[in-house]
Amino acid sequence: MRLILASSSPRRREILKIIGLKNFEIIPPTGKELKVNSPKDVKANAILKARSVERGLSCKGEYLIIASDTAVFVEKKFLGKPKDREEAKQMLATLSGKWHTVYTAIGIIYRKFKKRVLKTHLDFARVKFKELSDKEIEWYLSTEEPYDKAGAYGIQGFGAIFIEKIVGDYFTVMGISPSKLYKLLVNVLGKEKTLNLFSP
Q: What is the pLDDT along the chain (200 residues), one digit of tens a residue?
A: 999 999 998 999 999 999 999 889 999 999 888 989 999 999 999 999 999 999 989 767 899 999 999 999 999 999 988 999 999 999 999 999 999 999 999 999 999 988 899 999 999 999 999 999 999 999 999 999 999 899 999 999 999 999 999 999 999 999 999 999 999 999 999 999 999 998 77
User: What residues does each domain of the chain span?
Assistant: 2-195
Distance CA 187, CA 107 (A): 13
Find the Cα–Cα–Cα–Cα dihedral 106, 126, 198, 110, rounded to 10°. -10
Whether 41 is a known active-site residue: answer: no
Catalytic one among 41, 69, 123, 169? Answer: 69
* H or E, element range at 156: none
Query: pTM of the predicted model, to two decimals?
Result: 0.92
Is-contact 127 166, C-beta < 8 A?
A: yes
The CATH class, in words, for 2-195 is: alpha beta
Distance CA 129, CA 19 (A): 28
- At position 34, the amino acid (one-letter code) is L
